[in-house]
């Protein structure tokens, strides 16, 4: 594989053509929409194989979107991976493309599904790798550690379950405040805290985020 850019179709071909890269890499940076696809089948996974045999010399970073944590099964799976082979896991609310960077030398980008198989671009072109890597680093820095994220979600749930209910019922602040036996000022303070916690800049956005996080 001397070409700097190769397109492969489906996971099988990806393994066949790029499996050796996984086997030798020591630095994995990985962004994913879900646990789906090539990362799911753990036993047949080159990364897993590589990992278990070379624990300690590895750096594994994974970046996920928060939806993943809604499903408690995937959440547990995440925690297991983190514990099992020392992967660092962070969560971001940004939209991310499925991306893998190996040893800062090779990038694998997932493309669209075609005829039931996903296309992957395997890229060794240094400039491109550099660019993707810097994007990844940015996303990584702006992301939240899984543990912190979990704690925050727990906090929000505790902070304002009733506020969330009232907001999602579409009631006015006045009504909501009285319902809770609070002053309007305090209620709005709660909403503001909630929005901060959700990282939202408008109530619409807060609604979207809350729904994303499964809080409503």
Q: Which residues bind DNA (CB under 7 A)?
A: 172-174, 181-186, 188-189, 191-192, 195, 202-203
Residue 128 near a copy of itself by CB under 8 A: no
CA–CA separation, 109 and 111 (whole Å): 6
Answer yes or no: are the C-beta atoms of 101 and 133 closer than 8 Å: yes
Nearer to DNA, 100 or 166 (CB): 166
Residue 216 interface partner, choices a copy of itself, DNA, none, CB cut-off 5-8 Å depending on type: a copy of itself
208 makes contact, choosing from a copy of itself, DNA, none, with CB < 5 to 8 Å by partner type, with: a copy of itself
Nearer to a copy of itself, 56 or 116 (CB): 116
- Return the residues of window 157-216 that contact a copy of itself according to CB under 8 A: 167-172, 200-212, 216
Q: Is 207 left (phi over 0), alpha (psi -120 to 50) or beta?
A: alpha
CA distance 42 to 81: 10
Q: What does the CA dihedral 82, 132, 116, 211 come to, rounded to 10 degrees?
A: 60
For residue 69, the SS3 value is helix
Interface ranges with a copy of itself (CB under 8 A): 167-172, 200-212, 216
């Amino acid at each position: 594989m001397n070409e700097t850019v190769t397109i492969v179709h489906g996971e099988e071909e990806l393994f066949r053509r790029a499996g050796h890269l996984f086997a030798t890499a020591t630095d994995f940076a990985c962004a994913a929409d879900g646990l789906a696809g090539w990362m799911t089948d753990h036993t047949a996974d080159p990364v897993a194989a590589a990992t278990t045999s070379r624990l300690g010399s590895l750096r594994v970073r994974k970046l996920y979107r928060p939806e993943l944590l809604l499903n408690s099964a995937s959440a547990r799976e995440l925690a297991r991976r983190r514990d099992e082979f020392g992967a660092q896991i962070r969560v971001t609310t940004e939209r991310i493309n499925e991306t893998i960077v190996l040893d800062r030398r090779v990038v694998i980008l997932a493309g669209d599904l075609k005829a039931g198989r996903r296309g992957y671009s395997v890229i060794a072109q240094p400039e491109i790798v550099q660019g993707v890597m810097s994007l990844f680093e940015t996303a990584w820095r702006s992301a939240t550690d899984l543990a912190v994220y979990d704690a925050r979600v727990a906090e929000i749930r505790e902070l304002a379950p009733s506020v969330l209910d009232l907001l999602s019922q579409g009631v006015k602040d006045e009504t909501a405040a009285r319902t809770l036996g609070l002053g309007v000022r305090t209620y709005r303070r709660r909403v503001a805290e909630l929005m901060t916690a959700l990282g939202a800049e408008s109530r619409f956005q807060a609604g979207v985020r809350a729904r994303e996080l499964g809080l409503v």
